[in-house]
Amino acid sequence: MRKSGILLPISAIPSGYGIGGFSKEAYAFVDFLKAAGQKLWQILPLGPTGYGDSPYQSFSTFAGNPYYIDLEALIEEGLLTREECEAPDVGGSKEYVDYEKIYLSRFPLLKLAFDRAFGEKNYAVKPEYVRFVRENAYWLDDYALYMAVKDARQGMSFTLWEDDVRLRKEDVLAKCRQDYAKEVEFYKFQQFLFATQWKALKKYANEQGIEIVGDIPIYVSADSADVWANPRLFQLTEEGIPSAVAGCPPDAFSATGQLWGNPLYDWDYHKETGYEWWMQRIAYCYELYDIVRIDHFRGFDEYWSIPYGDPTAERGKWVKGPGYDIFDTMKKKLGDKAVIAEDLGFLTESVLELVAKTGYPGMKVLQFAFDSREDSDYLPHNYPTNCVVYTGTHDNDTTISWYYQRTEEDKEMANEYLDISPEELEKDKNRIAWKLIRAALSSVADTAVIPMQDYLEKGGEARINMPSTLGNNWKWRMTKEVCTEELAKKIKNLCALYGRV
């Protein structure tokens, strides 16, 4: 069935208190999606943000970001007061997230809510809380302890902790659980609020006919509860230090490649366990999402292994990954699940064969299509039906900003392909966004997903992420007044024209 959706991170929702969350504005966005005839809402990973504020560098692959907890709901429950939530240091810009301000203000507020919840509200024996803690103990216990220990060390990476804690000596862990019992409970409380509020929002979206497309990074952060609690799953030395890390080789975009720094998996061990941890991870994803986009799908076929400590990715080498075996296991244990394979970049024959064998739709990004030097698989006339087309992703510039940074030759190619003249663009420079949107929606791809910024005709100020840079990413926010009935009608009519409604 042909369908379409919109890509918008939770952080970009125009809710109050400095960052998007599971607030009434998120429910209003679901209503906007329905009015616009959309069937999908694609988001970014929901984990607690770590290094560089990136959702792809999280302290846990299972935990949720406490920044997204709706403070209004805590006010209604009597866990916070409006005066506390509206203090000058709590809010922030309506157009950009100030992560430092959020970090400094949000946890004291949640701590106030926690103290009241476990005081007068008696959360410790609340049946739904007790059940949540019990059912999620397989990851929650380690995550909560890890964060409590980390806080006691001023946020220091666990790789720098004293050896007996870093290497999880059982008697020392038992003492940590006792010493930090209240802090551990605080982190469990955060996760209960997150899960309860997110699942209510997801339920509402599903009731409106909207499915949630979630995002699972292939790798976990080096500084995470996942690595600390499960060292055997990764290529680590006896001292718990990575022997090799992840990245990408040098290419036309980067002479030294990309050094991501994530620890690599010990795939032989994963295979011995029947990929147990991966099956738990993926099964949990389907509690949170309806469809899962698996990031860096190529890494399951081959991965770039860089010696630990190298300053660049240049000395890395390709190593075979688990291949189809992990997806065969997934299908046998979890059944047929809806997956999008992020298969962007240079693809070898073996990667193409892996994607084809799984049957999962790959991704097509129109911004990659218009290179005047060569033909491209990203041009719509080359698409199979089993794919998901985007104008751009969270790693791309907005379409308007992208177009006006192209070479004249690339622009001419795009103009001819999209049937738009320079004269038209002189009258309305933003028309290029709608031309690219139309090309995506009219293509044979079963599914089309458009970043909200393109529908809003935004420029480079609304870019979500510029890969391999720090300090100015993941910040853009949508303002409240832009989701108009007029825009919803325009989107719906266009999607209907191409059989997506």
Which residues are annotated as catalytic?
A: 295, 342, 395
Asked if 371 and 408 count as a contact pair (C-beta separation under 8 A), the reply is no
Phi and psi (nearest 5°) for 459?
Answer: -95, -160
Taken in order 384, 389, 393, 397, is the CA torsion positive or negative?
positive
CA within 13 Å, CB half, 2: 15
Burial of residue 167, with CB atoms counted within 10 A of its CB: 0-12 exposed, 13-18 middle, 19 or more buried? middle
Q: What's at 227, amino acid-wise? A: V
Distance, in Å, from the CA atom of 65 to the CA atom of 332, rounded to the nearest integer, reads 31
Are 364 and 388 a contacting pair, CB within 8 Å?
A: yes
Three-state SS at 139: helix
Check: CB of residue 103 under 8 Å from CB of residue 65.
Answer: no
Amino acid identity at 277: W
Phi and psi, residue 83, nearest 5°: -60, -40
Please tell me the distance from the alpha carbon of residue 43 to that of residue 59, in angstroms, as a whole number: 18
- For the packed helices 181-207 and 137-152, what is the interaxial angle rounded to 10 degrees? 130
Neighbours of 339 (CB within 10 A): 19
Extract the tokens encoding 23: 């607030």
Instruction: Pick left, alpha or beta for residue 163 (phi over 0 → left; psi -120 to 50 → alpha; otherwise beta).
Output: alpha
All residues at 6 or more sequence positions from 57 whose CB lies less than 8 Å from its CB, including other chains: 49, 50, 51, 221
- Decide if 196 contacts 128 (C-beta within 8 A): yes
Cβ proximity of 126 and 118 under 8 Å: no
Specify whether the CB–CB gap between 399 and 462 falls below 8 A: no
Residue position matching structure tokens 């909560």: 144
Torsion sign across C-alpha atoms 449, 294, 192, 158: negative
Q: Which of 353, 436, 356, 338 is nearest to 390 (CA)?
A: 436
Residue with tokens 């009731």: 207
Q: 3-class SS at 236?
A: strand
How is residue 275 annotated by DSSP? S
User: What residues form DSSP beta bridges with 317?
Assistant: 305
